[in-house]
């Protein structure tokens, strides 16, 4: 009887060892890859598609590209100097509708003190025109910096753009790459006074009055040594 029981136990252990690991267990959770979802409007949807984050933003959410108010985003706290990078693309209504939409990177203390680096698109006839936009804001410091750059023709919403943002002390520097990181074009470098610990993440913007869907991929956040 003991030998028989031992045999059954060995069969069970062997079967468990041979069982494949569920696919879900192999994919890191959203909080590990991107941070916790933060949705001030409580109307957006965050989901993982493999290791990509998809954010659906309804047309009822009003969040302009130069403000953080109401913008859906992911959130984690980072202390000290760092550099972050992400690839973003998005689907917009066809035919184009009025307003603008986009996605990118954000670091912030609160809704009035932040730095943004994003790409965005707006209607231009039957198609969309696109560009990059950088905005720093801190009412305490009195410095507000905005910067826009128009994209080359053919870079529609679903084209994948890579963005980089570096925070070193009170200096924030931003870049964009249109060839998957082979070359980088500097957008801005300016002062943005924020505390040592800030919230960081990917962010979506929408004032189209229609649903948009953002895809974020390859988010990295790397600490930096002191200047």
Q: Supply the pTM of this predicted model.
A: 0.82
Task: For residue 88, give the CATH number of its domain.
Answer: 2.60.120.200
In a domain, 12, yes or no: no
Residues 165-208 have pLDDT tens digits of 999 999 999 999 888 889 998 888 888 889 999 999 999 998 88
In a domain, 178, yes or no: yes
Counted residue by residue, the chain has a size of 227
In a domain, 14, yes or no: no
In a domain, 54, yes or no: yes
- The C-alpha atoms of residue 156 and residue 154 are separated, in whole angstroms, by 6
- The C-alpha atoms of residue 135 and residue 203 are separated, in whole angstroms, by 13
Q: How many structural domains does the chain have?
A: 1
Average pLDDT, the chain: 82
In a domain, 11, yes or no: no
Which DSSP state fits 219? E
Range(s) of the domain holding residue 96? 26-223
In a domain, 82, yes or no: yes
In a domain, 143, yes or no: yes
- The C-alpha atoms of residue 69 and residue 39 are separated, in whole angstroms, by 10
pLDDT of residue 159: 82
């Amino acid at each position: 009887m003991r030998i028989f029981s031992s045999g059954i136990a060995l069969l069970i252990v062997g079967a468990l060892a041979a069982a494949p690991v569920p696919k879900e267990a192999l994919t890191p959770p959203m909080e590990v890859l991107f941070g916790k979802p933060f949705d001030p409007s409580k109307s957006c949807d965050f989901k993982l598609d493999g290791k990509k984050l998809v954010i659906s933003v309804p047309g009822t959410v009003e969040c302009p590209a130069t403000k953080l108010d109401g913008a859906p985003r992911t959130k984690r706290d980072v202390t000290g100097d760092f550099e972050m990078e992400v690839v973003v693309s998005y689907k917009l209504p066809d035919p184009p509708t009025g307003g603008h939409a986009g996605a990118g990177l954000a670091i912030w203390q609160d809704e009035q003190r932040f730095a943004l680096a994003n790409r965005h698109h707006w209607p231009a006839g039957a198609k969309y025109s696109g560009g990059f936009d950088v905005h720093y804001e801190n009412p305490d410091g009195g410095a507000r910096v905005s910067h826009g750059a128009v994209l080359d023709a053919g870079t529609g919403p679903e084209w994948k753009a890579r963005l980089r943002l570096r925070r070193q002390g009170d200096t924030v520097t931003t870049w964009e790459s249109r060839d998957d990181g082979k070359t980088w074009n500097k957008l801005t470098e300016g002062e943005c006074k924020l505390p040592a610990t800030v919230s960081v993440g990917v962010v979506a913007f929408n004032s189209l009055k229609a649903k948009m869907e953002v895809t974020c991929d390859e988010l990295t956040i790397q600490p930096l040594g002191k200047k």
